[in-house]
Chain A
Amino acid sequence: MTNKKNMHTDKKIKIYSTPTCFYCVKVKEFFAKNNIKYEEVNVATDMKGREEMVKKSHQLGVPVIEIGHEVIVGFDRVAIEEVLGMK
């Protein structure tokens, strides 16, 4: 399951999260484990980031993961692996 090699992706990755959200922590752990760089947006305090997240995902729940132009709602491991071509 764990991919030891560095994942090379040109896609920009953003994780919209809140600090107390367990699933957000799990998403970040998943990316860290696979050596994938991401930008984190804390929507509990970053109001601009929150608006951006709602506009892109039409969702009021975290985590929201943006990979390139794809938006994934929740820690959907299978969807993330698919978008990144990890399978």
Chain B
Amino acid sequence: MYDLIIIGGGPAGISAGIYAARKKIKFLLITESFGGQSVVASEIQNWVGIKSISGFELAKKMEEHFMVQPGIEVEEGSLAEKIEKISSGFSAEGGPAVGWKVHLKNGKSFETKTILAVAGGRRRRLGVIGEKKFEGKGVAYCSTCDAPMFAKKTAAIVGGGNAALGAVKDLSAYADKVYLIVRSENIKGDQALFEEIKKDKKVEILLNSEVIEVFGSLTGEFVGGVKYLDKKDGTSKELKLDGVFVEIGSVPNSEFLGDLVKKNKYNEVVVDHGSQKTSCESIWAAGDITDLPYRQIIISASDGIKALLSIKEYLNGGK
């Protein structure tokens, strides 16, 4: 039986893992792959201490930092499917001696006294007509992957955060024309990045605009464009496009926790933001799986550490 199982290998899981290793906690880290959602970011300019780095390079550096820690155990290549309550024979403060059995999709299972759930999130879909039909056929979710496919073409990016602004830059390097479609009146991403984009003559910004449909090209095989609601005048308009890149945030990978912990209406795990404790004793959570208000790599990394320090106290019997 492990003292701790960390479920997830993004910034929160890796930072917690490094701290756990240095504190010589007997733990296992389970992840499908390392790095988290930002592995697809072409450029990160707000990780303190590094002026500019690609998401892939930063993820690699984090993974390397974790992998050199002595005594670590890793189960890579599978996801957690569900968690089952077992008896652990260990109780921190005289409470029930609860433990957990973590079942993976590949059929393996592992037992632990405590859990840190840091499984992050996956891409939020627009949820409009045509999005699913044209996924991979012009609807894309990874601009660093697929931007070159739209060389000399017209593409739109939907979203207003840093990921969307970064995607505009990725597309502008190849496409002839790039639209940025933002639902609200304001940009959520960094002003510095937004001003850079505003200067780009290829880029046209549509604020207060909500995509309502992705439609097909004449042959019907690939994307032909989008319909959107212009909220300024309340009319529906069309844009002819070859590609639509969706960058509207994430939904939490919290399903494997079932009803064990309290979740909000977005399925985010509700945590105490000081200790990262969930509503269930001996389960902690951090990063994009939780109800944290700001989604940043550096915040996930630090929340992972807060959780780990709290777990360490718990394993020491509350001290």
Interface of A toward B, CB cutoff 8 Å: 1, 18, 20-26, 43-45, 50, 58-63, 73, 77
**Chain A residues within 8 Å of B140, by CB:** 60-61
Of B80-88, B143-151, B290-298, the one contacting chain A is B143-151
- Nearest residue (CB) in B for A19 is B148
A22 and B149 form a contact (CB under 8 A): no
B149 and A60 form a contact (CB under 8 A): yes
**Chain B residues within 8 Å of A50, by CB:** 149
Shortest Cβ distance from residue B104 to the other chain A in the assembled complex, whole angstroms: 12
**B45 within 8 A of partner (CB):** no
B137 and A59 form a contact (CB under 8 A): yes
Q: Give A59 to B138 CA distance when docked, in angstroms.
A: 8
Shortest Cβ distance from residue B310 to the other chain A in the assembled complex, whole angstroms: 32
- Nearest residue (CB) in A for B223 is A60
**Chain B residues within 8 Å of A77, by CB:** 77
**Chain B residues within 8 Å of A1, by CB:** 76-77
- Nearest residue (CB) in B for A17 is B145
A61 and B77 form a contact (CB under 8 A): no
- Nearest residue (CB) in B for A57 is B136
Query: Which residues 32-63 of B sit at the A interface, judged by CB distance below 8 A?
Result: 33, 35, 39-40, 42, 54-56
B33 and A58 form a contact (CB under 8 A): no
**Chain B residues within 8 Å of A21, by CB:** 142, 144-146
B148 and A44 form a contact (CB under 8 A): yes
A60 and B144 form a contact (CB under 8 A): no
**Chain A residues within 8 Å of B33, by CB:** 26
**B190 within 8 A of partner (CB):** no
**Chain A residues within 8 Å of B142, by CB:** 21-23, 61
Contact of B144 among A22, A45, A58, A59 (CB under 8 A): A22
Q: Give A23 to B59 CA distance when docked, in angstroms.
A: 13
B144 and A20 form a contact (CB under 8 A): yes
- Nearest residue (CB) in B for A59 is B136
**B221 within 8 A of partner (CB):** yes
Given contacts A22-B55, A73-B136, is CB(A61)–CB(B149) below 8 Å?
yes
Interface of B toward A, CB cutoff 8 Å: 33, 35, 39-40, 42, 54-56, 76-77, 136-138, 140, 142, 144-150, 170, 221-222, 243
Shortest Cβ distance from residue B205 to the other chain A in the assembled complex, whole angstroms: 24
- Nearest residue (CB) in A for B137 is A60
Q: Add 12 more A-B contacts to A43-B149, A60-B149, A62-B146 (CB < 8 A).
A: A18-B147, A18-B149, A20-B54, A21-B142, A22-B142, A22-B145, A45-B148, A50-B149, A58-B221, A60-B136, A61-B142, A62-B149
Shortest Cβ distance from residue B54 to the other chain A in the assembled complex, whole angstroms: 8
Given contacts A1-B76, A43-B148, A58-B221, is CB(A22)–CB(B137) below 8 Å?
no
Contact of B136 among A43, A44, A61 (CB under 8 A): A61
Q: Give A18 to B243 CA distance when docked, in angstroms.
A: 17
Contact of A22 among B40, B77, B147, B243 (CB under 8 A): B40
Q: Give A13 to B56 CA distance when docked, in angstroms.
A: 25
Shortest Cβ distance from residue B145 to the other chain A in the assembled complex, whole angstroms: 4
A60 and B145 form a contact (CB under 8 A): no
Shortest Cβ distance from residue A1 to the other chain B in the assembled complex, whole angstroms: 5
Given contacts A1-B77, A22-B144, is CB(A60)–CB(B42) below 8 Å?
no
Q: Which 3 A-B pairs have the closest CB atoms?
A: A44-B148, A21-B145, A20-B144
30 A-B pairs in the complex with CB atoms less than 8 angstroms apart: A1-B76, A18-B147, A18-B148, A20-B42, A20-B54, A20-B147, A20-B170, A21-B142, A21-B145, A21-B146, A22-B40, A22-B142, A22-B144, A22-B145, A23-B142, A23-B145, A25-B56, A43-B149, A50-B149, A58-B221, A59-B136, A59-B137, A60-B149, A60-B150, A60-B222, A60-B243, A61-B142, A61-B145, A62-B149, A77-B77
